[in-house]
């Protein structure tokens, strides 16, 4: 572990905080003892849970959060450097959002990459020959345990007409578009794209591409941030 020069507010070179090498910047799995857990609300997809958790020196506290099955998203690139975006209505935000194909991890025991393949076929009418892990994120760690894995899919081809998924509900009439990756990045930075998986996936894809794809991980890389895959 790196040498700590002080806690929050410690002054180093006139600035608060302490020096830390970039290689030591890593989120750490460190669950605290749960003294009590109650499901406040059973939802159609996720629940609201109240837990009393022991924070050690800070003592027990009560926290309420969304208990979520997690999800996968797919950043799909074609051989022209374009990314596939889909437009979907999101009622809580009351917006039609440009997003990456994505879906819940709601099939017990399903490997995340298989869920990603399924979502790309259902929402993008595509299959991909090459898969990598691009990025792992928590969607809203202050209020939800939702973990999302974003895959990079390449070497794509259309799903056969006879195998295409029949969409319904919010996905009915879903619009799909191919957008140059750099232009999609510019849309994010201009404040025109707001979906967190799209924002994170697009920016990560640009940086990964510019580094020669050296940051990509295998499609079955460990994912301890998701409780079901520890």
Could you state, in order of their start, the residue ranges of all structural domains in the chain?
Answer: 1-27, 31-67, 71-229
* Whole-prediction pTM: 0.90
Q: For residue 115, what pLDDT is reported? A: 98
Q: What average pLDDT score do residues 102-118 get?
A: 96
Tell me how many degrees the CA angle 131-175-88 measures, rounded to the nearest 5. Answer: 85
Instruction: Work out the average pLDDT over 102-113.
Output: 95
Indicate if 171 belongs to the active site: yes
CA distances from 69 to 13, 216, 229 (A): 44, 24, 11
Between the alpha carbon of residue 14 and those of residues 11, 17, 18, 163, 226, the distances in Å are: 6, 9, 11, 63, 39
Q: Is 3.90.79.10 the CATH number for 71-229?
A: yes
Check pLDDT > 70 for residue 25. yes
Q: Please measure the distance between the N-terminal and C-terminal CA atoms of the chain and give it in whole angstroms.
A: 23
Edge-to-edge strand list for the sheet holding 60-67: 34-41, 47-54, 60-67
Question: CA-based angle 18:226:139, to the nearest 5?
Answer: 65
| Residue 89 bridge partners (DSSP) | 96
Provide the pLDDT for residue 142. Answer: 95
d(CA 51, CA 57) in angstroms, rounded, equals 18
pLDDT tens digit sequence for 41-83: 999 999 999 999 999 999 999 999 999 999 999 999 999 999 9
Residue 166 has pLDDT above 90, yes or no: no
Taking the C-alpha atoms of residue 117 and residue 74, their distance in angstroms, rounded to an integer, is 8
The CA distance from 129 to 90, in Å, is 30
pLDDT value, residue 13: 61
Query: Which tokens belong to 165?
Result: 């998924």
Place of tokens 């399924």: 118
Lowest average pLDDT, out of 6-15, 35-44, 74-83, 157-166, goes to 6-15
Angle at 204 between CA 201 and CA 209, to 5 degrees: 120
Question: Which pLDDT does position 198 carry in this prediction?
Answer: 98
Q: What is the CA radius of gyration of the chain?
A: 20
For the stretch 28-51, pLDDT in tens is: 999 999 999 999 999 999 999 999
What number of CA atoms fall less than 13 Å from residue 142's CA on the CB side? 0
Among candidate residues 36, 64, 110, 171, the one labeled active-site is 171
């Amino acid at each position: 572990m790196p040498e700590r020069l002080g806690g929050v507010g410690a002054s180093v070179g006139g600035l608060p905080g302490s020096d830390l090498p970039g290689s030591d910047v890593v989120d750490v799995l460190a669950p605290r003892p749960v003294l009590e857990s109650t499901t406040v609300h059973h939802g159609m997809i996720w629940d609201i849970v109240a837990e009393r958790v022991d924070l050690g020196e800070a003592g027990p506290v009560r926290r309420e959060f969304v208990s979520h099955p997690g999800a996968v998203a797919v950043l799909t690139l074609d051989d022209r450097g374009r990314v596939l975006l889909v437009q979907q209505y999101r009622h809580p935000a009351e917006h039609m959002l440009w997003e990456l194909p994505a879906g819940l991890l709601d099939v017990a025991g399903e490997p995340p990459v298989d869920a990603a393949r399924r979502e790309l076929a259902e929402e993008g009418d595509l299959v991909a020959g090459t898969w990598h892990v691009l990025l792992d994120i928590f969607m809203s760690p202050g209020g939800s345990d939702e973990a999302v894995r974003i895959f990079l899919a390449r070497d794509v081809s259309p799903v056969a007409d006879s195998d295409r998924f029949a969409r319904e509900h919010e996905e009915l009439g879903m619009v799909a578009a191919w957008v140059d990756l750099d232009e999609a990045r510019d849309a994010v930075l201009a404040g025109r794209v707001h979906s967190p998986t799209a924002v994170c996936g697009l920016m990560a894809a640009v940086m990964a591409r510019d580094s020669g794809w050296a940051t990509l991980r295998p499609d079955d890389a460990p994912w301890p941030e998701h409780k079901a895959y520890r």
